[in-house]
Amino acid sequence: MHYFLKIENLPYNPVPYKRTTQRQKFKDANYKKYLAFKELIRWHFKAQNKTEPSLKGRYHVSVMATYKDKTHGDTDNVAKAVNDALFSDDKFVSGDYNFKYGKFGGLEVKIFKVE
């Protein structure tokens, strides 16, 4: 089983994982941006794959981030954001990640079930 996700033409770079404290969750603007980005990932996943994004089990996730400029976060943290958005328990997820530059921000994600 496999899934694909493509998000194109973002006016900003993909948002990386944001570690935070319980208190910061209510105040930190960057954390709120991270939550909104995870919701965007879930929405696109559901629309493109016709299923809810709550995958369970062993998967391999391949992430290609497109950055519109050099003010981006680490690509491994963007991959972590994808895993957090799509998996109820991402401790069984392995993967790879890469990046490129373009006119707009974006993501391409390929997800394969590992038997």
For residue 13, what pLDDT is reported? 97
Report how far residue 82's alpha carbon sits from residue 42's, in angstroms, rounded to the nearest whole number.
9
pLDDT band for position 115 (cuts 50, 70, 90): confident
| Exposure letters 53-64 (e unless 16+ CB within 10 A, then b) | bebeeebebebb
Report how far residue 48's alpha carbon sits from residue 67's, in angstroms, rounded to the nearest whole number.
22
Angle at the Cα of 42 (from 41 to 46), degrees rounded to 5?
A: 120
Structure tokens given for 44: 């696109």
* Domain 2-113 CATH superfamily: Holliday junction resolvase RusA (3.30.1330.70)
For the chain, the domains span 2-113
pLDDT at 76 over 70: yes
The tens digit of pLDDT for each residue in 2-46 reads: 999 999 999 999 999 876 666 666 677 888 899 999 999 999 999
